[in-house]
Copies of this chain bind each other. A is one copy, B any other.
C-alpha cells in the first residue's frame, strides 16, 4: 500500500515493509543529502505543537527545509486558538488548508488520532502525552539499522522510567514485531512497563522479556542499551522524584563488561542518567541517533507527500 497521504499516529500503523522503506530511504538520503535538496519545493510543513518540544519540532523543521520545503506553525498552545475554546476538529479543518503535511504534538493522549480523522493532508503524531511517538521510534530503528545492519535477533535492554516513557512504549511495540527479539526491562518496581503493554507484547509476539531492577546483571549480553530519563513532570511529589532519579545511571565503568559493539541509545534530552564520560565511549551513539532522526523524517515526509518513489 502506498504511503502517500497516509497518517502516522502509532508506529504500528506501518507494516514492517513500510517501516523498512522509510528506513532505507532515510539512510540513502543520509549518504547523499544533496540529491534531495529540492524534492519538496513548494510544499509546506505545518508544525502544530500544543506542548513545547524543541528537539522534535526543530528536527522536523530541519528535515523539511533540507528537502527544499517551507515551514509554518506554532510551538506553544498559548499562541493558538485553543484558548478561545475551539475543538481540535475545527482547528485541523482550517490548518489542513494552510499546509501540505502536518505534525502534531499534544499533551493529551489520542489527540493526534482524533485530529487525523479531520485532516485532508497527512498528519504525523509528534508525541501525545505518555502514549506514542512514532518518529522517535523510526529514529531509534534507523540508528539500529545503521550501526547493527539489522533489526532482528537482538537483545535490547530498556532502562529508566518504563511506566510513563512513551518512547519506550513505542519502540517496544515496534521491535516486538521483528523475529527473535529479547527484551531486558530495567527499572525501579514503581516504574515498570504497564501491564497492558507487557501483555500485548507477550501474547502477540514470539519475544522474551526479563524484568529486573539491576542495570548491571545482564550487561554482558546486551546488544542495545536504551536509556531513558526519569521525567520530573511525571512524578506527583518531589521526594519520590529525588529518591528515584539517580537509581539508574549509566557511567563508563559500568560499560566494562558490555559487548564491544553494544549501542547505547537515548531519546534525549538526558539529565544525568548517562554520565558525561560515556559520551567519550564509542558505544554511546545518542547524538548520532539524534542526527539520524532528521534523515528518517526527511524520508517519511517525502514518502507521505509522494515526492519520491520508495527505494
Contact = CB atoms under 8 A, between A and B. Distances in A.
A242 interface: no
A181 B130 CA distance: 55
Nearest to A245: B85
Interface in A53-99: 53-55, 57-59, 61-62, 65-66, 68, 70-76, 78-81, 83-86, 90-91, 93-95, 97-99
Contacts of A71: 72
A44 interface: yes
A255 to B, nearest CB: 19
A149 interface: no
Q: How many copies of this chain?
A: 3
A90 B269 contact: yes
B79 A75 contact: yes
A37 to B, nearest CB: 5
A160 interface: no
Interface centre among A46, A58, A78, A85 (most CB of B within 10 A): A58
Nearest to A68: B42
A17 B256 CA distance: 51
B76 A54 contact: no
Nearest to A288: B97
Contact of A290 (B57, B94, B99): B94
A93 B206 CA distance: 38
Contacts of A108: none
Given A59-B98, A98-B294, A269-B91, A231 B84 contact: yes
A72 B58 contact: yes
A271 interface: yes
A69 to B, nearest CB: 9
Contact of A44 (B49, B65, B99, B287): B65
B52 A291 contact: no
Interface residues of A, number: 51
A150 interface: no
A243 B264 CA distance: 59
A54 B58 CA distance: 19
A62 to B, nearest CB: 4
B97 A294 contact: yes
Given A78-B52, A79-B52, A268 B94 contact: yes
Given A81-B269, A86-B270, 19 more contacts: A42-B66, A52-B79, A54-B74, A54-B91, A61-B72, A61-B98, A65-B70, A70-B70, A74-B75, A75-B79, A84-B232, A84-B271, A86-B268, A86-B271, A90-B268, A91-B269, A94-B268, A94-B287, A98-B294
A229 interface: yes
Contacts of A61: 72, 98
